[in-house]
Structure 1
Amino acid sequence: MTIPSNLPTAHPATYSASSAVSPPSGQGEELREAFTQFVGQTLFGQMLSSMRSTVDKPAYFHGGKTEEIFQQQLDQVLVEDITDASADKIADPMFELFNMRRNG
């Protein structure tokens, strides 16, 4: 997950009141998407990792190293799905606060 490096870095005083919520040049959606992915990966990735560390391996039907590898891939897919499903409740309000502080 990388954050786009081509985002404008203008001084906050150059923004008008109408552009305080979204960056100029239509890059608001790219920034919002990068922010949402970062929040989701950080929050839900850590949550899922902590949850998995509290559960021991089952006595039967454990797939060994192969299961551990595919479990990481499954966790990545789960984090992406949870991020998409909860973006409007968690990441979007955080993005609005981030934008107000950045442009204010």
Structure 2
Amino acid sequence: MNISSSSPFGSASSTLDQHSVSQSPQQPANETQEAFTDFVGQTLFGSMLDSMRKSVGKPAYMHGGRTEEVFQQQMDQLIVEDLTEASAGAIADPMFQLFQMNRSS
């Protein structure tokens, strides 16, 4: 899927393009570490984004109803995936190392 960069959903289009490409060199080589990073990042950022959405009420006018809610959930999922790819390693890598140390002991 190729969406122009002038699209208002530029970050979403780059996410779609990144997911269509096979593993990038930035991803961990170890599948267990990759799964660990995905789980930690998506759990952390998913919970954070969910809490942020709950703290903001629906507008009195111009709310899109269920359609807007579904779109917002899909957009949030893309945001969480982007955040996970960008920065979950800083959190998940030390946790994975501790996890590996505890397993080998």
Shift of 1:61: 2.6
Q: Take 1:32 and 1:53, find their aligned partners in 2: how far apart are those partners?
A: 31
Matched with 1:47 is 48
Report the number of matched residues: 77
Listed one character per residue, the Cα deviations across residues 31-82 of structure 1 (whole Å, up to 9, x for unaligned) are 0110011101211111111110010012233211100001000111111111
* Length-normalised TM-score, structure 1: 0.69
Unaligned 5+ segments in structure 1 are 1-27
Structure 1 runs (4+) deviating above 6 angstroms are none
> Which structure has the greater CA radius of gyration?
1
Q: Take 1:86 and 1:93, find their aligned partners in 2: how far apart are those partners?
A: 13
**Which letter maps to 1:96?**
Q
Shift of 1:87: 2.5
Shift of 1:101: 0.8
* Length-normalised TM-score, structure 2: 0.68
Q: Take 1:60 and 1:89, find their aligned partners in 2: how far apart are those partners?
A: 41
Matched with 2:63 is 62
Q: What RMSD in Å do the two structures reach over aligned CA positions? A: 1.2
Structure number with higher relative contact order (C-alpha < 8 Å, ≥ 6 residues apart): 1
Matched with 1:93 is 94
Task: Provide the secondary structure at the position in 2 that maps to 1:82.
Answer: helix
